[in-house]
Amino acid sequence: MPPVPADLQLDQDTLEVLAVSAAAVAALSLLLVVFALARLRALHKRLRRLATSARGTAAADGATRPDPTALRHVGVVRYDAFGDMGGRLSFSAAMYDDEGDGLVITSINGRSETRSYAKALTGRRSDQRLSPEEEDAIDRAGRD
């Protein structure tokens, strides 16, 4: 190793002060890292507990109180609307909530066209006249 010029040489006391200062900064940095990791771990535990609690509450609410406004009752009837057509391509589907409020959708398939109808239900009844297939779909939805 080449000799250090005299103007760059540090005396022994200065080197000791620099070494002690560097060690103090390193120790302080290590303490800050340990503190930050401890805070991060505590935050992670709280977040995990919150997520578990939210999932458990949602599952418990769903198990004990289903949404009464959800269209949970569904019934479908497939049929041949016209005697000369096969394949039961026409259908009526009823969907309603626990109060019987919802709708009936009917699709009548013919040779040259398909017509679709939607009728509102209130208490499993409609203001519009229902076909026998639509009434059957409403009854089937009530059986589930």
Predicted confidence (pLDDT) per residue in 78-104, tens digit: 999 887 777 888 999 999 999 999 999
Instruction: Pull the structure tokens for residue 91.
Output: 């259908």
pLDDT given at position 92: 96
User: CA-to-CA distance for 110 and 55, rounded, in angstroms?
Assistant: 49
Intervals of the chain under pLDDT 70: 1, 4-9, 54-64, 144
Q: Could you tell me the sign of the dihedral formed by the alpha carbons of 72, 125, 116, 85, in that order?
A: positive
Which H helix or E strand runs over 108? strand 102-109
CB 74 within 8 A of CB 95: yes
pLDDT at 86: 76
Edge to edge, the sheet with strand 90-96 lists: 73-79, 90-96, 102-109, 114-121
pLDDT at 100: 94
